Amino acid sequence: MSLTEDLQRLDQLRDSGHLTPEQYAAQKSRLLNSYVSRIEAWYKKPAVARITPRVQRGLVRSISFLDLQETAALRLDTQRVKIKRIGRPISIAVGDRVLVVGAIHNETFQASFYINESNGDNSVDESRRLVRKTIAAGALGMLGGCAILVTVTLAALREPTLLSAGGGVRIAVYLISVAAALALGLTSFFVLWAGGLTHLLLRMIDGEAS
């Protein structure tokens, strides 16, 4: 069950009278803390910390919005943070406690996704859909690179005059094709690798992986 579904379930229990306001607040706090703890524990693993983005958690000291609140520039404690969310407004206010996952670029933390611990707003579920598309694109790119490499190699082997005096242009074409295939494959590998790491993190957040 996703974070959004868990929060919706709590809302339904509160609205139906099965939870008092105090019980609702306590269960919501425990739910958010459990998600946050999974993220922080995952990033504290030595092997993970060397190859994955960073996690930042703190209080929002200031915030400004752009693009119908789909982009936010905020100060999380002393760290400048930029969050971009596609298709939905960001619900963060000064004083909220927020966790962001991403990387620092030019002294600004570029968040891949976030969880607002104060009100439950998060972009985890959108990130999950984006990760699936990223993994698919990386896999297709690697297959495409391999297909080009195999095709070029077979074509070169079937051309006996390739190394003749007039074969210089054809050799150059083959070499360019091989370089393009390798570049496509390498880029796709890193896209697939990054998508796979984020997918593993999201699975662990949901408690689906040990």
Tokens of residue 63, six digits: 């915030």
The larger pLDDT score, comparing residue 50 to residue 132, is at: 132
Q: Do the strands 71-76 and 54-66 form a parallel or antiparallel pair, or are they unpaired?
A: antiparallel
Whole-angstrom Cα distance, residue 129 to residue 146?
26
Does the pLDDT of residue 57 top 50, yes or no?
yes
- Does residue 174 sit in helix, strand or coil? helix
Whole-angstrom Cα distance, residue 64 to residue 93?
9
Give the pLDDT confidence of 177-201 residue by residue, as tens digits. Answer: 878 888 888 888 877 776 776 666 6
Where are the domains positioned within the chain?
3-122, 126-205
Tell me how many degrees the CA angle 90-91-93 measures, rounded to the nearest 5: 120
% of the chain beyond a pLDDT of 90: 12
CATH of 3-122, one of 3.40.50.720, 3.30.470.10, 2.40.50.140, 3.50.50.60: 2.40.50.140
Does the pLDDT of residue 208 top 80, yes or no?
no
Mean of the pLDDT values across residues 155-183?
71
The larger pLDDT score, comparing residue 45 to residue 171, is at: 171
Sequential DSSP letters for 4-65: HHHHHHHHHHHHTTSS-HHHHHHHHHHHHHHHHHHHHHHHTSHHHHTTS-EEEEEEEEEEEE
Give the pLDDT confidence of 100-155 residue by residue, as tens digits. Answer: 887 788 889 988 788 888 888 887 766 677 777 777 888 888 888 888 888 877 77
The larger pLDDT score, comparing residue 154 to residue 4, is at: 154
In contact, 159 and 205? CB cutoff 8 Å: no
In contact, 115 and 124? CB cutoff 8 Å: yes
Neighbours of 45 (CB within 10 A): 10
pLDDT at 73: 94
Tokens of residue 47, six digits: 């092997």
Does the pLDDT of residue 51 top 60, yes or no?
no
